[in-house]
Structure 1
Amino acid sequence: MKKMTGGQAVVEALQAEGVEHVFGLIGSAGMEVFDALYDASSIRFVGVRDERTGVHMADGYARASGKAGVFLAGQNGPGATNLVTGLAQAQAAYSPVVALAGSLSSAHIYRDAFQEVDQQSLFKPITKKTWTLTQTARIPEMVREAFRTAMSPRRGPVLLNLPRDLLAETAELEIEKPAGRAFEGGFTASRERLEEAAQLLKAAKRPLILAGGGVKNSRCHEQVLALAEQLQAPVVMSPGHGDAIPCTHRLYGGQVGPRGNVVASDLARNADVILALGTRLGFNTTFYSWDNLNREAKIIQVETEPTAIGRFFPVHLGLLGSASEVAADVHGLLKAHDADADARAWCDNFIAARAALLTKRDNDAGAAADPLQPAFLFKTLRDVLPDDTMYTMDAGTLCLQATDNLRYCQPPALFTPLDFGLVGFSYACGLGVKLAQPHRTVVSLMGDGGFGMAHSEIGTAVQYGINTVCIVMNNGCWGAEKAYQRDFFGERYIGADVPNPPYDKLAELWGAAGFRVERAEDLAKTIEAAVQCGRPAIVDVQVDPAALYSFRRDSFKHRATAKE
């Protein structure tokens, strides 16, 4: 037992959890915690410029490290409300973010006090769980529960409100290192169900593995590829998880569905058995339509969340279990299996189609020509960036075009807003990814509008020496919306154009390295220079403003009909 303040107890509890980085923004409600962090040599505090982007950093850190990302909002009221977008984003990504929010003094609750807001109610819908501390003596218990909840299947963000008076109080406390949390062990389907899955896959003439976040987050690509080789089954990925297996493997098919590529999507439309491994078969993968899946296929869906199985599409067999263990167990049951001629022909045809697709992409990108086209940018990134590159992306038309066009050689390597579709996410997320994986190259892609929301965090990158490369695809507009106005609203443009400062000059004012590309012939050497400069780098790439694409054409069918 040791006498300490509540603020000291919070920090010692974080140390007991093995936390190495805390992202945060200082505020008076949390001063006791910040003061305790001053003496915590094992924790690096990263002070951010905005709570929203700070949570994106913690989110990126969590996804890239496989551990919880921690964010500390020092101020109740506005400092806490700024967390909303970041936590909603983390919830959509099932990202284990532990948010600690300074809160109103207990005696002031329900008195319309300064900066009072009901933080308990505010965060409940967008977290796995939200607590409000009631006793200083319970801080070790509450922090331990926050990490346990965030990291247990299915992972996700949590928030713990910390009233300022309880942080200032002292108590006799004992901070113990948490016992091991073996969430993965023993979490698999029954032997009978696994054997049924093995027999279905064994009999398949056109087998397909559709890998989702469960494969990526459990880092089980080796088990999945061993099974795929055995079955001669191509592997396609749900959007945002194109890095679930290395893109260099011969069975890699890229992303499937409306936001994927034609070869992967055709596989899903024609397979006779689909092993949906660690995926909900949700919106971005299917648009909830049989247009993107073979209605006659036998679907084997593997998920850790019972309510996800068969939720959007009827399945032939549902397996409650982790992607890693199910893949390994089914592989073990099929040790003697040798794929027949039909499965091998299916696989060979896929490999040829995939090779033709990659050749076509390179040919369509063309040579350096102005105005610079997105396809040429993506080809250049494929050509010049190292194999260890980790990419972060925003939503928006240019990033959506990029997602299936890049190389993801070393999982994990792709971090996107996923189903939350957030603009303004990528740069801050990349800073968190870099802190989690400091020896890898981190490249953040954004449109100019999204970067305008986040560029204050250049200051954070410079202050803490976080050397990522942000490529701003600058077309001077909100590209997706301008495309919809062009294609469905008679070119009645309103609010679509975005005048920007020269972002390379802005980077230099912050103390970062700024680069600008106006000619396609300068693109490759400029990106290489940015990667090698050893500083936080911003590359302002002037992209053809006419190169717009309407992704959600399904949403405007009524407009197309009216136009006709």
Structure 2
Amino acid sequence: MSQPYVSETRNIASYAVDLVAALGSDTVFSLTGGMAMFMNRAVATHKRLKPVYCQHEQACVAAAEGYTKAADFRRAGFALITAGPGVSNSVTSLLSAYGDSAPVIVLAGQIKTDDIDRFGTRAHGIQEVPSQALITPCVKKFARVDPLNYRKQLVETLAEAFAGRPGPVFIEIPLDVQGAPIEYSVETIVADQAEIEKRIIASRDAQQSLARISDALGELLKAKRPLLYVGNGCRIAGVEEAARTLISRYDLPAVFSWLSFDILASQDKHWFGCPGGLAPIYSNEVLARADVILFLGARLDLGTTAFQRHAFGDQARRLFIDIDPAELAKFAGFPNTKCIEADLHALPIAVEQHATTNSAAGEGWLQWCIARRDQYLPEERERLQSTEMTVFGVAELLSRWSDGKVFVPASSGYAEETFSRFFAPGQGTRFFNGASLGSMGLGLAHSIGASFGSPRRVIGLEADGGLMLNVQELATLSHYAPKGHVLFVLNNGGYESIRASQSRYFGAVSGVDGETGLFIPDLAKIAEAFQLRYLRVDSLAALDELLPKLDPNDPPILVDLCVARFENRGPSVKTKIGEDGKPYTTPLAELSW
């Protein structure tokens, strides 16, 4: 490993930037501002950092999230923003990264230390906001750096990005502290880098985690109908290969979440999709027939479990492994359930400890699962095929084209949920979004960040409504022009999920399209304004013809997919309104077309 870079002009701002770069980040997403001026300068003159200047602080942090996810959580996403409104603008993206355990490092400016409000006024310093109170609930750790303790503060805070369950950290450096001159050397950076790595390793409690995970594997392998639920915690811990080894060695059926289903290619015989409230029936049938289910690093949020975590696989002995005790507390006290606090970094050794252990499962179990899948999928395809340009058809075509690519869909909306439901990852495909928060508008920035976090080709996928929330980032995409980047826009003329729910409950709609008050401009004119190539696609046949022509060396292109306004999303639970006016969800067992 090469020695860290040390800035020529040395102050606390440059030290913070040099240390973050030494941890592996090679790109910083920034929007310049006066209260971050010394950090801006340190970034601009750094020989090993590429600054990418976004158009909004929300996009800076979202791009940093996309960067670290595309790098498989191995390198932190790095954002640099200014004080006041720059800080408040970052909140939504911080919450997205926090929920998805994304190690994002944010350096933020602040007014001079002496000017920071000490009186509890509503507005005190120039563009000042109560940043500590605002940001602390949104991140793993917030730190305001002072000139006497800056090294200790930076080490402690940067380690938190990766220690235990990863997540974003926020380091605020007042303007007078940023510019404070200091002396440091390569050896100083190396020493602090080593201390950070030491703290990260110490957080893993390897021996206790190993024993607990090994015991859980032993219980799984004694089952007659074992099922492995592979959560995104496996990727965050970097143990995807160990999970694949476990699956293949014992012929284990495996199910996934929408963030983890690309850990195994969908063509693999052990891949049985994502059970839940919007899911293929066979996935839920496999979940409901298992007698022992081992959940590896899966949050199982309310959306995944259709607001019924108590019933999610409750016929089976359920073993939940998670590093976060708060996540495990959701399942504590459920019958026939064991909550295991452990770090999945120990999974590879635990799997090898069981290398000579035989599985008690009969051959008939996997074959039954395969038969249910093979029986169901042709029926689903027959039901959902259409002469229209549907998201189901788009997902089917892009799945066939997905090998080796990074797909970054938007995080919310009718079209996006439909796409995630039907996308089937190929060999070496990566697929992620901001699943925990599900915020509209982050997809474009996520995909821009991904283009700098992975050497593979990145395919963005936004909806027309979501695109408008951060449409200014088309300027960032156009200016930096990552090769081969394709931005597919699922254009259904507005907010289809809101239209559907308003129609279902009220029989009328508002604020969902041009007729009801929501104007979305012509995407061709938008692309022209941002100097982006543009193509409109009106049929699945035209999309099928286009895909092989999208050259990986070409500059970015916006592809306007004019999809059907409404389509069947397949089997789902139903949300209904009770006589008391409260919404409730039908049982998972009643998942139906």
Would you say same fold, with TM above 0.5?
A: yes
Residues 408-431 of structure 1: per-residue CA shift (max 9 Å, x gap) = 235671112212111111111011
Tell me, in whole angstroms, the C-alpha distance in 2 between the residues paired with 1:289 and 1:402: 23
Structure 2 residue matching 1:496: 3-state secondary structure: coil
Alignment partner of 1:510 is 2:530: yes
**Other structure's SS at 2:107 match:** strand
1:232, 1:410 → 2: CA distance? 19
Deviates more, 1:200-209 or 1:186-195: 186-195
265-274 or 387-396, which moves further after superposition? Answer: 387-396
**Does structure 2 conserve the Cα–Cα contact (< 8 Å) formed by 1:132 and 1:161?**
yes
- Aligned twin of 1:176: 189
1:48 Cα shift? 0.3
Structure 1 position 533, deviation (Å)? 6.2
User: Retained in 2: the 8 A contact 1:502–1:540?
Assistant: no
Q: Write the deviation string for residues 121-154 of structure 1: whole angstroms up to 9, x where unpaired.
A: 110110111111121x543433333321111110
| Aligned length in residues | 554
Q: Which residue of 2 aligns with 1:452?
A: 468
Instruction: Tell me the residue number matched to 2:421.
Output: 404
Going from structure 1 to structure 2, the CA distance change for 1:7 and 1:364 (only over 3 Å counts) comes to same
1:70 partnered with 2:78? yes
Q: 1:41-95 CA distances to partner (integer Å, 9 max, x unpaired)? A: 111000000110111100011112121111000x311111111111011111111
Q: Residue in 1 aligned with 2:320?
A: 301
AA partner of residue 544 (structure 1)? A
Q: Which residue of 2 aligns with 1:423?
A: 440
Paired letter, 1:70: F
Unaligned runs of 5+ in 1: none
Q: Is the 8 A contact 1:24 1:54 kept in 2?
A: yes
Equivalent residue, structure 1, for 2:512: 496
Partner Cα separation in structure 1 for residue 105 and residue 210 of structure 2: 36
Cα displacement (A) at 1:190: 6.0
Q: What's the CA shift for 1:475? A: 0.8
Residue 356 of structure 2 is matched in structure 1 by 335
Look up the match of 1:129.
141
Choose which of 68, 88, 92 in structure 1 pairs with 2:95.
Answer: 88
Q: After superposition, where does 1:107-506 map in structure 2 within 5 Å?
A: 107-110=114-117, 112-135=124-147, 137-174=148-185, 175-177=188-190, 178-179=193-194, 180-181=197-198, 183=201, 187=206, 189=208, 193-194=212-213, 196-289=215-308, 293-312=312-331, 314=334, 316-326=337-347, 328-330=349-351, 332-333=353-354, 335-341=356-362, 344-366=363-385, 369-370=387-388, 372-410=389-427, 413-438=430-455, 440-467=456-483, 468-490=485-507, 492-497=508-513, 498-506=518-526
Q: Aligned partners of 1:283 and 1:331: how far apart in 2?
A: 34
User: Which whole-Å CA distance do the structure 2 matches of 1:488 and 1:30 have between them?
Assistant: 48
- Matched residues in 2 for 1:362 and 1:421: separation? 27
Over 3 Å counting, the alpha-carbon distance change for 1:401 and 1:552 in structure 2 is same
Residue 248 of structure 1 aligns with an amino acid whose one-letter code is: Q
Provide Cα deviations, 1:463-521, integer angstroms capped at 9, x if missing partner. Answer: 2222421111111121111110111211x111111432222332233122111112333
Identify if the C-alpha distance between structure 1 residues 133 and 47 changes in structure 2 by more than 3 Å, giving closer, same or farther: same
- Alpha-carbon distance in structure 2 between the residues aligned to 1:364 and 1:404: 15
Mark the CA change 1:399 to 1:64 in structure 2 (over 3 Å): closer, same or farther: same
1:52 to 1:256, Cα distance in 2 relative to 1, 3 A: same
Q: Which moved more, 1:328-337 or 1:268-277?
A: 328-337
* Contact map agreement 1:57 1:430 (CA 8 A) in 2: yes
SS in 2 for 1:526: helix
Structure 1 counterpart of 2:242, which letter?
Q
Question: What TM-score do the two structures reach when normalised by structure 1?
Answer: 0.91
Kindly provide the amino acid, as one letter, of the partner of residue 545 in structure 2. Answer: K
The structural deviation recorded for 1:347 is: 0.6
State which of 11, 20, 26 in structure 2 corresponds to 1:20: 26
- Counterpart Cα distance in 1 of 2:210 and 2:47: 48
8 Å contact from structure 2 (residues 277, 573) kept in 1: no
Q: Could you report, residue by residue, the CA deviation over 1:197-219 in whole angstroms, capped at 9, with x for unpaired residues?
A: 34422331111001111112233
Question: Aligned to 1:545, what secondary structure does the other structure show?
Answer: coil
Contact kept in structure 1, 2:204 and 2:345, CA below 8 Å: no
Measured against aligned partners, the alpha-carbon deviations of 1:260-301 in whole angstroms (never above 9, x if no partner) come to 322112111221100011113332321341585232311111
For 1:460 and 1:215, how far apart are their aligned partners in 2?
A: 32
Query: Residue 46 of structure 1 corresponds to which residue in structure 2?
Result: 52
**SS of residue paired to 1:419:** coil
Q: Separation in 2 of the partners of 1:222 and 1:12?
A: 32
| Residues in 2 aligned to 1:256 and 1:361: alpha-carbon distance in whole angstroms | 15
1:117 positional shift: 1.1
Matching residue of 2:590: none
Q: Residue type of the partner of 2:139?
A: T
Q: Any stretches of 5+ residues in structure 2 without a counterpart?
A: 1-5, 118-122, 585-593
Match of 1:6 in 2: 12
Looking at structure 2, the residues matched to 276 and 404 of structure 1 have their Cα atoms a distance apart, in angstroms, of 20
Find the aligned partners of 1:141 and 1:465 in 2 and give their Cα distance. Answer: 39
Q: Which moved more, 1:464-473 or 1:121-130?
A: 464-473
> Aligned Cα RMSD in Å?
2.7
Equivalent position amino acid for 1:285 in 2? T
Residue 534 of structure 1 and its aligned partner are, at CA, apart by 1.1
The CA distance in 2 between the partners of 1:561 and 1:21, in whole Å, is 45
Amino acid aligned to 1:84: V
The code of the aligned residue for 1:163 comes to P
> Which stretch of structure 1 is more off in the superposition, 530-539 or 467-476?
530-539
Matched, 1:104 2:111: yes
Q: Of 50, 61, 70, which aligns to 2:67?
A: 61
CA contact (8 A) 2:221 2:361 kept: no
Report the CA distance shift for 1:29/1:310 in structure 2 as closer, same or farther (over 3 A). Answer: closer
SS of the aligned residue for 1:170 comes to coil
What letter is aligned with 2:114?
A
SS at match of 2:20: helix
Contact 2:502–2:509, Cα closer than 8 Å, also in 1: yes
Return the offset for 1:324.
4.8
* Structure 1 pair 84–340 and aligned structure 2 pair: CA distance change class (3 A): closer
Which moved further from structure 2: 447-456 or 286-295?
A: 286-295
Does the aligned pair in 2 maintain the 1:91–1:126 contact within 8 Å? yes
Q: 2:56 is aligned with what amino acid?
A: D
